[in-house]
Amino acid sequence: MADSTFKEILKCRRKNVLALAVTAVVLSGCGVVANIQPRNSEPPQEGASSSQEPSSEEPSPQESSQAEEGDLTAHFKRIRAADPCELVTHPMLKKYGPEQLIVRGRGMTDCQELTGYSDPAKSVYSFKVGLHSSFGERDAKDAKKEQLGGRTIYLEEYSTDKESHRSCHIKVPYEGVTGSALSLDVRQTPPRGQEAKPWPQRCEAAKEYLAKVMDKLLELPPRKKGAVGVLGKDPCARQKEMAGALGRAYRLTERRYVGPYGCELVLANSGQNQELTVSVGFAFYVRQRATGQTARFKSRELSLDGLYRVRNTKDLHMTRSCGNAVEVRRATNSAKDDAHYLSVSLSSAKLQVQDEDDEIKAPQVSCALTDKLTRIALDEIR
Do 209 and 96 form a contact (C-beta atoms < 8 A)? no
Do 69 and 89 form a contact (C-beta atoms < 8 A)? no
* pLDDT, block means (10 residues), the chain with 382 residues: 41 39 32 28 33 38 42 94 96 92 94 87 93 94 94 86 89 94 95 85 96 97 92 96 95 95 96 95 93 92 96 92 96 85 96 71 92 96 82
Do 278 and 242 form a contact (C-beta atoms < 8 A)? yes
* Nearest C-alpha neighbor of 22 from the set 205, 283, 200: 283
- pLDDT confidence of residue 232: 95
Q: Give the CA radius of gyration of the chain.
A: 23
Measured distance CA(53)–CA(268) in Å, rounded: 12
* Nearest C-alpha neighbor of 260 from the set 226, 241, 238, 233: 233
- pLDDT confidence of residue 357: 52
**Beta bridge mates, 320:** 348
3-state SS, one letter per residue, for the chain: CCHHHHHHHHHHHHHHCCCCCCCCCCCCCCCCCCCCECCCCCCCCCCCCCCCCCHHHCCCCCCCHHHHCCCHHHHHHHHHHECHHHHCCCHHHHHHCCEEEEEECCCCCEEEEEEECCCCCCCEEEEEEEEEEECCHHHHHHCEEEEECCEEEEEECCCCCCCHHHEEEEEEECCCCCCEEEEEEEEEECCCCCCCCCCCCHHHHHHHHHHHHHHHHHHCCECCCCCCCCCCCCCCCCHHHHHHHCCCCCEEEEEEEEECCEEEEEEEECCCCEEEEEEEEEEEECCCCCCCECCCEEEEEEEECCEEEEEEEEECCCCEEEEEEEEEECCCCCCCCCEEEEEEEEEEEECCCCCCCCCCCCCCCCHHHHHHHHHHHHHHHC
- pLDDT confidence of residue 36: 26
- pLDDT confidence of residue 111: 97
